[in-house]
Structure 1
Amino acid sequence: MKQQSPSKWMTLVAACFGLLMLNIDLFIVNVALPTIGHDFHTPLSTVSWTISGYVLMIGILPMGIGRLGDLWGQRAVYLAGLAIFTGASLACGLASTIEALIIFRVIQGIGAAIMTPGTLAIIIRAFPPHEHGLAIGINGGVAGLGLIAGPVLGGLLVQGENWRWIFLVNIPLGILALILTVLFVPEEREANERVPVDWPGLLLLSSGLLFLLFGFTQAGDEGWTNKVVIGCILLGIILLGLFVVIERRVRWPLIDLTLFRNPPFVMGCLGFFFFSAALFGSQPYWSLFLQNTWNFTPLQGGLAFLPATGLIVILTPLAGILAQRAKAWLDIFLILALLLNGLSFLFVMVVLSSQSTYISGFLPAFLMRGLAIPVFMSCATLTVMNAVPKKLSGLASGTIGMVRNIGTAFGVAVLSQVYLFYVNTTIPTSLGASRTAAEQFHVLGQGVNRLLLESNIIDGFKLIALACLLLCCGAAILIFLMRIQARKKGITTPIQEQKPHLPISSESEFVR
């Protein structure tokens, strides 16, 4: 039964506190990788699995877990994830070997994956439909604050070769989040829902996504022709195909696939995929360029993103209100945000040179990005959440997390190969170690060779920007075409204001 919350605003605070902790942790570990490797005498390729293992979990689990939250209650599932995350944070801080740290990071990622769909679902259920835009905007602003705090806090905590505090700091935060959730987040579950969980479907979905994401992750290092990469991607596609076949036949499917015939839902998911591939997929290469090519420190590299993330924090609540009022024009704002993000990459392609500085080469692009992200995130989130009944908010939230993480992994892999292909075909093999260093954006050598390497690194980075521009424009075109198709079918307002535009007999049949 639905319980009464003391205040929808306190519910928002409780959910956003957990979200802030997750976003800080997602970015805080990046700056500590060299210190962790030095402490454990382990190469960076091994240490990086402390991030890869975490990201894999938050990529494969949210969609299925989000549906479990709809069935079992978002509050209970969210609390379980929060407890796992906090306990795993303690274990990470006390880890004595790199193998143990990687295992505990995977467990921490499982906790984060359980929490992720619950934060947005709890907020959506706490607020009336006409205030969803504001709530989503505040939620996005808090997430943006995590983008700021993560790299900066990480840069401060790893001073003096001490990296363990980046995990131990989660203990008091996690305990406080647990208390806030127990006090201010009501349980909301329909009394007539006694639906058995489709465990085979959940296993197939998670396994398929695991192999697919692992294949994308390895493709960034090994290339798309590597046998392991090809095998993992093919196996992932086969398992996901089998999942679709089974879900169409079981009585109580984990996910009703008719949801993906819903144009607004698909538009939002497509937008998230391509936007994440371009923006978040390129993020590591911006950091590598700043730190390795321009010799920024990790803290300086984190602060370089401050203009964009600062605008995100400030503007996202306002963008949420704009999205709420846009109604039938929501997808147009979605398209405009994609194009503005593409314009930020076009600026880099045109302006960046060996004489560029941060202010002349990157700052305008970051400012454009800071304007585009709030509008896109608010419009895309509201589009997806409005496209399903309220009781499926966990599934919708989990789907957002899934397509965003798959898009990011896909973007990292594609952009890595774009850059490596250019560098390896334009820099002579005779340069040896300098050519290898250029693959990581390092400029080695002297005189003419150094100028050649720097020029090729810059041109390779501009090629990454071109790929990102194409991803953004491609997404905008796809969404525009889907908008035309939706208008032809008479879908002119947000789905939540109507009955879901799905070939089903009733909402209860859809939820089952």
Structure 2
Amino acid sequence: MEQSTRKWWVLITVSLAVFMAMLDITIVNVALPEIQKNFASDFSNLQWVLNAYTLVYAAMLLPVSKLGDIIGRNKVFLLGLGIFVIGSLASGLAGSDLWLNIFRGFQGIGGAAMMSLSLTILTSSFPEKQRGLALGIWSSAVGLAISGGPLIGGILVDSMGWRSIFLVNIPFGILAILFGIFFIQESKRNRNEKIDFLGFVLSTVLIFTIIFALIQKEMNDKYLWTDWHILSLLGLSIILLIAFIMTERTVKQPMIELSIFRNRSFNGANIAAFMLGAGLYGGFTYLTILMQNYMGYSAYETGVKMLLISGFTLILGPLAGMISGKIGNRWLISGALLIGAIGILVIRHMIKVPFAWSYLMPGFVLLGISNGLVNPPISNVAMSAVDKKHVGMASGILNVFRQVGISFGVVMLGIKLTEGYNSLLDKPIMEIQNIDPELKNQMLDVFHKAGAFAGSQIFDSKQAEAFKQMPAYEDVKNIVFSAFNAGMKDVSLLIAIFLLIGAVAGAVLIKKKRIVE
């Protein structure tokens, strides 16, 4: 097959792979209630269905990138696809929540290989003139998977049950493996290069520790940052980082060539990716909670609404890739993140109780435009800012920054939401007339324990059964919704700050042309 035709099949293959890898981060959310019923799981075990995949996925991004450079990118990419398919099958057949969590972690190894190696394979398959378009289409697959997960998950769970969200990966995964075997050419191996085992271990444990500390904070909102559960992990991560840097400076063939961080454009792209993950992708979690738990939309309806964001990705992703060379990656990245910041501030300005879709729609349009425009130039900058021999390494680093950013954003935004929710809950309820003070304290205890995420569900629970007999029941419900609204306004402001930091970093650090330093 001619190279001019083969490269487009390569694009189809890697886009299919990254779509599955990123989809498995978001699709599980809507299946959690069904999984909980099936296994009678407690909330802590249930959260690990999400976190096991994310934790292993993030920790393995750098090692698999380096492994691809050493033994061959296509080999590692296809191995990752195979692991992902096996992990999906095992997850779909899991007989307990413990085994499901284990298989999800195994699945994360494959997801990391697919995601990290895909960028490297694309970069080497397309000439520089067409690379922007290819990365734009690749980014469309990523964006569609992240924002389309609730819709796809809702359809599958409602029609075929929760196991289908894993089993559906099998035919598509096998198809991607066959495409990879036939169309992706193996990269040249550096037979003189050896694996930096110490750097391998230190980098993996470092990223694992950082993500695990953030997960601990997310799962236990009562933990302060100074709690030993959190502080010990963060302290260990600092020690590991210092050890990793010292190791990489002394070994002959390091896991990461630290000199690539001297390139301002590369640093700008990574900061932008981190802030994009923390702001936009981390914010998706709370927009979903708003629509499902407070506006009463089903998982399917929420997914349909989120298409307003993901739909722009399909159109603008390839377009952004094509025009980035004309207007410059720097201004495209900064402009897209600025549009996203404006979009979330529009939502902050408009939302009020009772919540309505019309308050979200204008902001969703701007967030969709931002999401569609920003990923291709970020990837383009990171991959073109380094020497060709370091593109695998650059891909792994960029994906780590994006994924750690998402985890960081989910935690920080969750803290902000809870703080805003709690600050406007106690006093208004205590000021309600004609309610026994003991019942008020009982209500506050129920609402605080349920947390800001509960929404309408708490009023349908057995704990809140007595509240429905009160004359002021609707007033209490309005107070809870207003408290969540206050928290969402705080969340929206923090999302905007994250996106603005990314926009400024892009404008200041990213240079117009590639400069290898």
Q: TM-score, normalised by structure 2?
A: 0.90
Task: Tell me if 1:477 matches 2:508.
Answer: no
Q: What amino acid sits opposite 1:379 in the alignment?
A: P
Q: What amino acid sits opposite 1:394 in the alignment?
A: G
Give the drift of 1:196.
Answer: 0.6
Is residue 313–residue 372 contact of structure 2 (8 Å, CA) maintained in 1? yes
Give aligned-pair identity as a percent: 31
Q: Partner of 1:292 in structure 2?
A: 293
What are the within-5 Å matches in structure 2 for residues 396-411 of structure 1? Answer: 396-411=394-409
Is residue 344–residue 367 contact of structure 2 (8 Å, CA) maintained in 1? no
Give the drift of 1:420.
Answer: 1.3
Secondary structure of 1:248's match?
helix
What are the within-5 Å matches in structure 2 for residues 221-232 of structure 1? Answer: 221-222=219-220, 223=223, 224-232=225-233
Secondary structure of 1:61's match?
helix
Is residue 148–residue 310 contact of structure 2 (8 Å, CA) maintained in 1? no
Unaligned 5+ segments in structure 2 are 427-439, 460-466, 468-472
Structure 2 counterpart of 1:459, from 477, 481, 486: 486
Unaligned 5+ segments in structure 1 are 484-490, 502-512
Q: Partner of 2:209 in structure 1?
A: 211
Q: Per the alignment, do residues 355 and 38 of structure 1 end up closer, same or farther by CA in structure 2, a change over 3 Å counting? A: closer
Give the drift of 1:81.
Answer: 0.6
Is residue 266–residue 381 contact of structure 2 (8 Å, CA) maintained in 1? yes
Q: Partner of 2:476 in structure 1?
A: 449
Task: Tell me if 1:151 matches 2:150.
Answer: yes
Q: Partner of 2:470 in structure 1?
A: none
CA distance, structure 2, for counterparts of residue 394 and residue 366 of structure 1: 34
Structure 1 counterpart of 2:513, from 487, 493, 501: 493
CA distance, structure 2, for counterparts of residue 383 and residue 308 of structure 1: 24
Q: What amino acid sits opposite 1:88 in the alignment?
A: G
Q: Deviations over 1:234-283 (max 9, x none)?
A: 11121122101110011111111011110000000000111110111122
Q: Per the alignment, do residues 492 and 18 of structure 1 end up closer, same or farther by CA in structure 2, a change over 3 Å counting? A: closer
What are the within-5 Å matches in structure 2 for residues 105-504 of structure 1? Answer: 105-147=104-146, 149-159=148-158, 162-190=161-189, 193-222=191-220, 223=223, 224-326=225-327, 329-358=328-357, 360-428=358-426, 430=441, 431-443=444-456, 444=459, 446-483=473-510, 492-495=512-515, 500-501=516-517
Q: What amino acid sits opposite 1:58 in the alignment?
A: Y
Q: Partner of 2:8 in structure 1?
A: 9
CA distance, structure 2, for counterparts of residue 275 and residue 332 of structure 1: 15
Is residue 309–residue 365 contact of structure 2 (8 Å, CA) maintained in 1? yes
CA RMSD, aligned part only? 1.8
Q: Partner of 2:67 in structure 1?
A: 68
Q: Per the alignment, do residues 385 and 98 of structure 1 end up closer, same or farther by CA in structure 2, a change over 3 Å counting? A: same
Secondary structure of 2:250's match?
coil
What are the within-5 Å matches in structure 2 for residues 38-49 of structure 1? Answer: 38-49=37-48
Give the drift of 1:438.
Answer: 4.5
What are the within-5 Å matches in structure 2 for residues 87-106 of structure 1? Answer: 87-106=86-105
Q: Per the alignment, do residues 294 and 6 of structure 1 end up closer, same or farther by CA in structure 2, a change over 3 Å counting? A: closer
Is residue 344–residue 366 contact of structure 1 (8 Å, CA) maintained in 2? yes
Q: Deviations over 1:186-216 (max 9, x none)?
A: 00215x5420110110100010110111101
- Greater alpha carbon shift after TM alignment, 330-339 vs 101-110: 330-339
CA distance, structure 1, for counterparts of residue 203 and residue 176 of structure 2: 30
CA distance, structure 1, for counterparts of residue 500 and residue 195 of structure 2: 39
Secondary structure of 2:255's match?
coil
Secondary structure of 1:194's match?
coil
Q: TM-score, normalised by structure 1?
A: 0.91
Q: Deviations over 1:366-395 (max 9, x none)?
A: 110111112211111111111112232221
Give the drift of 1:470.
Answer: 1.3
Q: What amino acid sits opposite 2:217 in the alignment?
A: A
CA distance, structure 1, for counterparts of residue 256 and residue 118 of structure 2: 20
Q: Deviations over 1:145-168 (max 9, x none)?
A: 324553222212212672111111
Q: What amino acid sits opposite 1:440 in the alignment?
A: F
Give the drift of 1:225.
Answer: 3.1
CA distance, structure 1, for counterparts of residue 320 and residue 236 of structure 2: 40
Q: Deviations over 1:457-486 (max 9, x none)?
A: 101111000111111222223333335xxx
Q: Partner of 1:507 in structure 2?
A: none
Q: What amino acid sits opposite 1:403 in the alignment?
A: F
CA distance, structure 2, for counterparts of residue 254 and residue 406 of structure 1: 19
Q: Deviations over 1:299-325 (max 9, x none)?
A: 111111011101111110001101133
Q: Deviations over 1:107-147 (max 9, x none)?
A: 00111112211111111110011111011011112223324
Give the drift of 1:350.
Answer: 1.0
Q: Per the alignment, do residues 147 and 49 of structure 1 end up closer, same or farther by CA in structure 2, a change over 3 Å counting? A: same
CA distance, structure 2, for counterparts of residue 482 and residue 119 of structure 1: 26
Give the drift of 1:45.
Answer: 2.5
CA distance, structure 1, for counterparts of residue 497 and residue 152 of structure 2: 34
